[in-house]
Chain A
């Protein structure tokens, strides 16, 4: 119990910058619903494999969009003595050992045309950028003012509201 309290004390939670990224997720979910409606309406005329594929894809986007929008308020960055953990609901949990961090910089990123979960105000999972390559994102922005945390293995993109506070806390733990 005492140890649990001690660990709890050492974990600092940082919230992301506010954004309306969740509205995009709902919009995408509704758009998939619009494409799902005519498919179901003309189901008798469509071959079963095609129907299953179309309805399955649209249904997955619909459920996925709403689920991600629902978990939007759970986005946070947890910093303990050893690790920076990026969380988004139960679907995203990136652990970055502090000892492996090579650099932290704030910059704007340049998107590519390739599809990924990134809209104005939200970027999740692996997003390809034309200037820095693939970045594991857990952020409330897709391009502007991204805090890039680079390790040997990967790059992570975050957007903490208290950016300097998070960087200072990470530096203090690395120095210790």
Chain B
């Protein structure tokens, strides 16, 4: 068995426990969002093995672009289409679990939309970790590596879970606001996804060296953490989650001179 499968199991378990635990802690320990982590697991495989190749092939047929060409030989507009196919399809499929009435009922307010989006995105990220492991295992150079040297894969997939969570929560929060916000949320999620994919795509096309990708992903993770905190504070203020209910004031005085 390729070593990457062992690392994939470790990564998925660690990511599920960590991000699921964070959502549980930060959302008021209600546990009402945890089950959502199951719903997005198969979606990465569906979109990457089913929808994306089929749509790319179909688009190639109607525009007379033959399949199997290298990126460098593709017309720029078709290349752009292929690059944007991933964000457009993935951001859409990540919210399909909301077609289930039980999942949709969870979105009662903005705070709930935030946590539902985070969980659905993390769930998709976990499934994607499995898909990436499967794809890498088809490459002999990767398949022969022992599992314990694949810490780069583990770190990247762990970070990507949060990034997927942020993108999905932006869309779900748009859905919760209804009206034109649904389109705004979707476009914002697509834009964030395209931003995250920019360095890997440019490296794949040979425009930038491969090592920039690792730096980029770290930067994206920091951006994800920043957005997570900002949005969480915003929805927390609205729902009152961050207030400490059982505070005991032992001692307080107003006569302390202000320090220079």
Q: Which residues of A contact B (CB under 8 A)?
A: 34-35, 37-38, 41-42, 99-114, 130-131, 143, 147, 151-153, 167, 170-171, 174
Contacts and interface: CB of A to CB of B under 8 A. Distances in A.
Interface residues of B, number: 29
29 contacts: A34-B148, A38-B149, A41-B149, A100-B259, A101-B251, A101-B253, A101-B256, A102-B253, A102-B254, A103-B249, A103-B253, A105-B247, A105-B250, A105-B251, A105-B252, A107-B244, A107-B247, A108-B245, A109-B244, A110-B241, A113-B225, A113-B229, A114-B229, A130-B242, A131-B242, A131-B244, A152-B259, A167-B251, A171-B251
A152 B255 CA distance: 11
B149 A100 contact: no
Main secondary structure of the interface of B (DSSP, over half): mixed
B251, B253, B258 — most chain A CB neighbours (10 Å): B251
Given A37-B148, A99-B256, A131-B243, A105 B249 contact: yes
Nearest to A128: B229
Nearest to A143: B25
A114 B225 contact: yes
Contacts of A41: 149
Contacts of A151: 256, 259
A48 B233 CA distance: 42
B19 to A, nearest CB: 10
Given A110-B244, A151-B259, A152-B256, 11 more contacts: A34-B148, A41-B149, A102-B256, A105-B252, A106-B248, A107-B248, A114-B225, A131-B243, A143-B25, A152-B259, A174-B253
B97 interface: no
Contacts of A42: 149
Contacts of A113: 22, 225, 228-229
A104 B247 CA distance: 11
Q: Which 7 A-B pairs have the closest CB atoms?
A: A103-B252, A107-B244, A38-B149, A107-B247, A104-B251, A152-B259, A106-B248
B252 A108 contact: no
A130 B236 contact: yes
Contacts of B236: 110, 130
A167 B251 CA distance: 8
Nearest to B224: A113
Main secondary structure of the interface of A (DSSP, over half): mixed
Interface in B205-260: 225, 228-229, 232-233, 236, 241-254, 256, 258-259
A34, A113, A174 — most chain B CB neighbours (10 Å): A113
A41 to B, nearest CB: 7
Interface string B1-40: 0000000000000000000001001100000000000000
A130 B229 CA distance: 8
A110, A112, A171 — most chain B CB neighbours (10 Å): A110
Contacts of B242: 110, 130-131
Contacts of A99: 256
Contact of A106 (B225, B245, B247): B247
Contact of B151 (A35, A106, A130, A153): A35
B120 to A, nearest CB: 18
B251 A152 contact: no
Contacts of B228: 113
Nearest to A132: B244
B184 to A, nearest CB: 25
A10 to B, nearest CB: 20
A152 B148 CA distance: 49
Contacts of B248: 105-107
Contacts of A107: 244, 246-248
B233 A130 contact: yes
A149 B244 CA distance: 16
Nearest to A167: B250
